[in-house]
Amino acid sequence: MEKVEFLILRNLLHHEEYARKVLPFVKSEYFDDSSQKVVYEEISKFVSKYNKLATKEILCIEVENRKDINDSSFKEIVDIIQNLDPSSSEYEWLVNTTEKWCRDRAIYLALMESIYIADGNDEKRNRDSIPSILSDALGVSFDNHVGHDYLNDYEERYESYNRKEDKIPFDLEYFNKITKGGLPNKTLNIALAGTGVGKSLFMCHMASSILLNGRNVLYITMEMAEEKIAERIDANLLNVPIQEISGLPKILFENKVTNLAQKTQGTLIIKEYPTASAHSGHFRALLNELALKKSFKPDIIFVDYLNICASSRYRGNLSVNSYSYIKAIAEELRGLAVEANVPLVSATQTTRSGYGSSDVELTDTSESFGLPATADLMFALISSEELENLGQIMVKQLKNRYNDPTVNKRFVVGIDRAKMRLYDCEQSAQNDILDSGQDEEYTYEETKTNKQFEGFKF
């Protein structure tokens, strides 16, 4: 029976469609036999350089010019080349067989590499790198999508225009209005607020509502301990004031959590990292580890919060300015959201001037204006003594790629700090807000009599 390696080599030499399909994915280290590896390297090198398939004569000449093989190896390699005759195998079967061979070889090599690392023989990598090595091997596949052909792929494009986008909805009416139904995948969404206003409360409430909606949630915290975040989510989901959580009898607490588990198919994972020590690389490794150990894939990721993350690009570089550093973190987190195909929600601080302001602007973003430039949605959470007395918090849109940010630019939501919960206010509360939102319309006659239009000709 012909070995798969020999079948691959003969078709790489004679089957152009097959060669162009599989060459980007086949690696020389997949070949266990050193002579076959040399033949593959020369085929791949020739196609890459001349954009044409090699011939037996070309391969023999190229092998003869190599300085890294002896006479006995040369004879063995030439014998292999001379036996590479055309194959009549079915194309689709060939591709599928090659893909399976590549995946099997990648997994085998990854296992060998993992054992080497686990034994402490690798000075550069430790055991934490093993999950990502195995995950990469398991993910080996022949992806034939190389871009959107504007003229030929119009049907696919039209379908995408009319396809309902998968979004993570809010349980708050006005947030759904400004985002047209929720947060899309592959996006970075930022809440801007001063200390103590409610950044973590907002994210804990949102994580709670999404969990209840049957989705998987990953909550990464670098500001508070895992238990403190879980306590806030307990207050929200168990409908118990946060001050009373610790006083609940164990049997009552257990019953509440058991009843909650029966209401949702979702999972919530809370992971704590030390402040300013974790970056997108750590989060990526965490996603791989959760996939391998718990078969967990999040539908949304929360990072509490962006400014106290580290950057994978500027590790240990103390000379970089805050603009570049925070912008780099934002870009890396957005890249993680794209790679994981989920929305990512985080928060940032206001500047000192914006802390007490009742009309926060984008320029009040702490440390770096590069953050608003990267975010898809950015909104401010504003509190004041008057709003606190009303049990409300104001939301102001600062940037919105999903909708017109001037519509519902400002709105209020109710806040219950004891139960770490947000809720919709009555419409009358929204009507009292300046430019809360409804688009104003003027008739021709109104514009003639309205003083703000004086000086305009009709």
Express each pLDDT in 356-375 by its tens digit.
556 677 766 666 677 888 89
DSSP state at residue 30? G
Ranges 54-63, 109-118, 214-223, 366-375: which has the least confidence:
366-375
Pairwise CA distance, residues 283 & 287, whole Å:
6
Fold of 167-431: Rossmann fold (3.40.50)
Which part of the chain is CATH 1.10.860?
A: 4-138
Backbone angles phi, psi at 186, to 5 degrees: 65, 40
Tokens 């989901």 correspond to what residue? 237
- DSSP helix/strand/coil, 393: strand
Pairwise CA distance, residues 153 & 149, whole Å:
5
CB-based burial label for 384 (10 Å; 0-12, 13-18, 19+): middle
Classify strands 217-221 and 300-304 as parallel, antiparallel or unpaired. parallel
Pairwise CA distance, residues 75 & 60, whole Å:
10
Beta partners for residue 300, in sequence order: 217
In 39-48, which positions are buried (b, 16+ CB within 10 angstroms) versus exposed (e)? bbebbbebbe
- Residue 266 amino acid letter: G
pLDDT in tens, 297-350: 999 999 987 888 988 877 655 677 877 888 889 999 999 999 999 999 999 888
- What was the pLDDT predicted at 217? 95
In 10-27, which positions are buried (b, 16+ CB within 10 angstroms) versus exposed (e)? bbbbbbeebbebbeebbe
- Reported in sequence order, the residue ranges of 83-199 that DSSP labels E, i.e. its strands, are 167-168, 183-184, 187-193
* Contact between 322 and 348 (Cβ < 8 Å): no
For residues 243-252, give the mean pLDDT: 91
- pLDDT over 90 for what percent of the chain? 43
Pairwise CA distance, residues 218 & 224, whole Å:
15
For residues 238-259, give the mean pLDDT: 91
Backbone angles phi, psi at 189, to 5 degrees: -125, 130
Give 4-138's CATH code, choosing from 1.10.3470, 1.10.860, 1.20.1330, 1.25.40.
1.10.860
What does the mean pLDDT of the chain come to? 85
Beta partners for residue 375, in sequence order: none
Q: What is the CA radius of gyration of the chain?
A: 29
Pairwise CA distance, residues 453 & 344, whole Å:
44
- Residue 142 amino acid letter: F
Residue 365's region, left for phi above 0, alpha for psi from -120 to 50, else beta, is beta
pLDDT in tens, 125-184: 888 788 878 877 777 777 656 677 888 888 888 887 777 778 999 999 999 999 999 999
- What was the pLDDT predicted at 356? 55
Which part of the chain is CATH 3.40.50.300?
A: 167-431
* Contact between 209 and 171 (Cβ < 8 Å): yes
